[in-house]
Amino acid sequence: MKLVTLAVVFLSIAPAFAQSNMKSAPTIDLSITPGSTSQAGCPIAFTDVSLETKARFMPVRQDAAPDGNLRFQYKNQSGKEIQSIAVRAELKVKKNVYDLDATTITLNMTLTGKSAEETMPLTLRAYGLSRITLEQVSFTDGTIWNADTKNACSYEHMNGSEQIGKLQ
């Protein structure tokens, strides 16, 4: 009996000892920091973009959601007065309220550029925010900045997708 107990203890300790001596591989942080490299050299830098939705019960039918908004906070880095800002918003929506997965759709929106914070109403029920891409900036002096392929000015939330909700 002592021999069996000793063998069980030895077999239990050996794997634990082997695991504790293993060196762990260094971890690499792959998170995207908003406002850093993806917005360098852009006339507008988005500091925060979020979904605003009023609290409600669980939806049981697919209908328009007139209470949803997309809130933009940005900083003018150009030094010129802005007339309008064209952005492409990638939002996560569901085709049916019972779907488990959300699909990404693209909306083109135009901001006025008059203040550092703007709220745009949404006519659909968005469940998440993937990316905001700056497409075009029109200035009051008549000049226009257009996005090109080598300088894609975009904003991504740090978690990879923006979570719904804001305490009010």
Q: Which domains does the chain have, with CATH numbers?
A: 37-156 (2.60.40)
Torsion of CA 126, 53, 154, 99, to 10 degrees: -20
Q: What is the reported pLDDT for 27?
A: 37
Q: What is the reported pLDDT for 84?
A: 94
Q: What is the reported pLDDT for 5?
A: 75
Q: Which residues contact 41 (CB under 8 A, 6 or more apart)?
A: 151, 153
Cβ atoms 54, 65 nearer than 8 A: no
Q: What is the mean pLDDT of each run of 10 residues along the chain (168 residues)?
A: 70 60 40 50 88 70 68 91 93 82 90 88 83 92 86 72 42
Q: How many helices (H) and strands (E) does the chain have?
A: 1, 8
